[in-house]
Amino acid sequence: MEKPDNETRDAEAVGSGRDRPVSGANFAQFNPLAVYVVAFLCFAAFLAVSNGFRWDWIPEHVTPFYAMYYRQPPNIFFLFPVVFGALFIAMLVLVFKGKMRVRPGYLLCILVVCGTVLHLLVAMIDGGPEAISATFRRWDYEYFGDVPFVLNPIQFLRDYVDLMAHPRALSMHSRVHPPGPVLMLWFITLFTGRDPLAASMGSVAVSNLTIVPLYYFVRRVFGDKAALYSVLLYLFAPTVVMFTATSVDTFFCLFTAGSLCFFAAAMERDSRLSAALAGLSFALAILMSFNIGILGLFFAVVGVKYLANRENRAKTFQCLAIMAGVFILFHVLAFGVGYNVFDCFAQASAQLRTDVINQDLYTPRAPYIIWRLGTPIAVLFFAGIPVAGLFALWIRRGISGNNPLSTVRDGAAYYFGFLATLIVFDLLYFGRGEGERAWVFLLPFIITPAGALMAHRIAKPDAVLLWTLGVTFVQTFVMEALLFTYW
């Protein structure tokens, strides 16, 4: 059954903190400070043990991060993000106190702009404006160096696999990825030109559009307040702040969130149009990164759980069939213009195997099995210590059989979908290190449960959210000032 939307109520929810009820919920609250302190102590203990036992999973790096210790000397650029971050949070204070009444659509636009400015200012800590475009100037390594190959999208899709096979044609990252990132940058350069700084700033703005589909996905699954909290936690997450201005991998989140948004709408509203858009979004996501194919597991888990309900089985099956049909049709049409996704995957896999061999020869790392523990730790730390604590508590709630805080027909489906996707991707992820950046497209699976828990289980959640954002920003600032993360 479709749940009615009320724009007036939504606008009031942003200003007043009101929210629709969570079905079947027991409203036992908890102390967030205790959760955050425990999370901090866990991370601190792991880092202390790593240092004490001289674990060096990547030579000369801070275990378990793909980052080296590199203290940035204080400079004038330290001041700008601090001032703007304070103003950003002050604006949110006015919103939550109802002194600044903003409808959700307008607020999202404001947040995109504010998030873009904040991320650019934090990137400047590492050397001013030049630091923003540093990655885009690495022509031999990054996607931006491949933009000149694009005369038009059809031509580039047709030629891409041949370019991958040429040993010196594409950049290092393009050789192990589909053509989507380069096409996105080409599209951005239509507005910004080929200047690396302008293109980098444009990519930050586009990446931050992620909060729009993310907001509507979380609103449908966890409620209005949880949606607002989740996008704010996302904008302040260290991995987003530190990589949005320097790595186009954050593009992937936009397509992940879009796929989740339309999929949830299709499941809840039995909407054929939403199902078709979900299939299209998922197909475009695969065009960005083959890693995003793991979302298929999430869709399957939620879909099977919904199919178990006889009441809506026929409509659920119809939505899943439409989604799969549009996904397949997209790749059939792509094949028609000359792009073979299977050949592209084979080329990327071959290059990845070569890179792993070279990695073992020149910069040997800890075994694969060890990184199955290290990668999740790095991912959660870069998601933000408070978010990691809330996410762990959300998992515990589900294990103990409590309601997963959802407003949908089957909240358990999303709970199992989130966890299954994260666990299986960890087992399948070939990388030894670099997970804090490479996993960014799965950040919504960690952020949204944290936002839901904060919205529905904390006394005075607006106030707690504000100082949580402040604490997370301090963590991000310290990391940016002390770590060299390559991107």
List, for residues 86-140, the tens digit of each pLDDT value.
Answer: 999 999 999 888 877 778 889 999 999 999 999 999 999 988 888 898 888 888 8
On the question of pLDDT at 441 being above 80, the answer is: yes
| Token output for 301 | 């888990």
On the question of pLDDT at 296 being above 60, the answer is: yes
Alpha-helical regions (H) of 429-486: 435-438, 444-457, 461-482
pLDDT of the residue at 320: 94
Instruction: Give the C-alpha separation, 188 to 100, whole Å.
Output: 33
What count of other Cβ atoms lies within 10 Å of the Cβ of residue 141? 15
If 0-12 CB within 10 Å is exposed, 13-18 middle and 19+ buried, where does residue 88 land? Answer: buried
Q: Write the CA distances from 8 to 13, 16, 103, 235, 448, integer angstroms.
A: 9, 12, 8, 25, 24
Mean of per-residue pLDDT scores for the chain: 89
Question: Which residue in 467, 17, 389 sits closest to 228, CA to CA?
Answer: 17
On the question of pLDDT at 18 being above 50, the answer is: no
What count of other Cβ atoms lies within 10 Å of the Cβ of residue 265? 21
On the question of pLDDT at 64 being above 90, the answer is: yes
Model confidence at 4, in pLDDT bands (50, 70, 90)?
very low
Instruction: Give the C-alpha separation, 192 to 199, whole Å.
Output: 6
pLDDT of the residue at 25: 43
- In sequence order, the 6+-apart residues with CB closer than 8 A to the CB of 386 are 32, 35, 36, 39, 450, 468, 471, 472
Question: Which residue in 362, 415, 379 sits closest to 243, CA to CA?
Answer: 379
99-108, 125-134, 302-311, 374-383: which is most confident:
374-383
pLDDT (mean) for 349-363: 87
| Token output for 320 | 């899943």
